[in-house]
Amino acid sequence: MQSINIKSRPRRLRKNEIVRNLVQETILSPAQFIAPVFIHEGKEPEIKINSMPGIFQFSIDRALKHIEELKNNRINSILIFGIPNEKDNEASSAWDENGIIQKANKKIKEHFPDILLVNDTCLCEYMAHGHCGIVLEKDILNDPTLDILQKTAVSQAASGADIIAPSGMMDGMVSAIRSALDQNGFQDTAIISYAVKYASSFYGPFREAAESTPQFGDRKSYQMNPGNKKEAIREALTDEKEGADIIMIKPAMPYLDIILAVKDKVNLPVAAYNVSGEYSMIKAASQNGWLDENKAAYEMLTSIKRAGADIIISYFAKDLLKLLKSFED
């Protein structure tokens, strides 16, 4: 064979696992994951969610056990969603001091004072019509919804939430919530804003889990058009100015370019929500024997981190240690 002068031989650093790990640029750590948890108001300890294998609606008591399991897996941050018994057109159970989230917050903090407790601050689960705001005929009203979000955020903070996560995509929601929290003595309660949230079909399984499917129309008048990128930057910069502490992008995997673009423009930590559809897709394919679940999930989460997410909210958080291990095998 003729001697060939190949200058660059990247394969030298792929020779074995030790050298591969030595030069690995993106590493997943459970410290940067938030696990979503669904809590319903009934007595039933756990209700299966058919569209999300391995995920349940828990009673408050059963949720405490689940949190213990998460802690044993080094997940110390949770994002809780409430499924109330009663829904109406003012989302009254979202800001009731005896609402499901408020009761859950108190119990969770009593048992786990150190857990980082994030509350989803949205109204769709509490509204009879399933929209994220006050409805007048077919319109979702912006400013009247802000009043309810303020009341909800204050009652969540008062019952123990460390972080408020408004997800309704109402204009001005971050400044409205920030000022309400401050006026009520909750200056130290942080805000993760769902700043860049697309109108996505990947939320399908969540809507079964949270019982929050809109009863008419869709969410396109408040959630973003998947075709837009500059609008994502505008949304993120607006929320940064309004006082958000962390900027979230959602969904994650189909929007890696958006994570990268937003990360470049804001000076706040960036979170990505690896949503229900992204989880269920991998579950379904692996149940069919088409994908290796652990390896595919590991790869998906790594790509989200590599794109620029500092924090990942994922239904796979509970399995992260297992995923990391499967990659080593």
Question: Should residue 102 be labelled a site residue for ligand PBG when binding is judged by CB under 6 A?
Answer: no
Question: Should residue 122 be labelled a site residue for ligand PBG when binding is judged by CB under 6 A?
Answer: yes
Binding mask 60-99 for ligand PBG (x = CB under 6 A): ----------------------------------------
**Separation of alpha carbons 25 and 14, rounded Å:** 13
Nearer to ligand PBG, 202 or 298 (CB): 202
Residue 246 three-state SS:
strand
Q: Which two tokens stand for residue 224?
A: 């973003």
- Least gap, CB of 211 to ligand PBG (angstroms): 11
Residues 228-267 that bind ligand PBG (CB under 6 A): none
Contact, 153 vs 164, CB < 8 A? yes
Which contiguous run of DSSP H or E holds residue 283?
Answer: helix 276-287
Contact, 314 vs 289, CB < 8 A? no
- DSSP one-letter code for 225: P
Q: Which two tokens stand for residue 49?
A: 């969610």
Residue closest to ligand PBG, measured at CB: 206
Residue 127 three-state SS:
strand
Say whether 197 is catalytic: yes
Binding mask 167-206 for ligand PBG (x = CB under 6 A): xx----------------------------------x--x
Of 197, 263, 283, 305, the active-site residue reads 197
- Least gap, CB of 206 to ligand PBG (angstroms): 3
- Least gap, CB of 58 to ligand PBG (angstroms): 16
**Separation of alpha carbons 267 and 61, rounded Å:** 39
**Separation of alpha carbons 110 and 104, rounded Å:** 10
Q: Mind telling me the catalytic residues? A: 197, 250
Residues that bind ligand PBG (CB under 6 A): 120, 122, 124, 132, 167-168, 203, 206-207, 219, 275-276
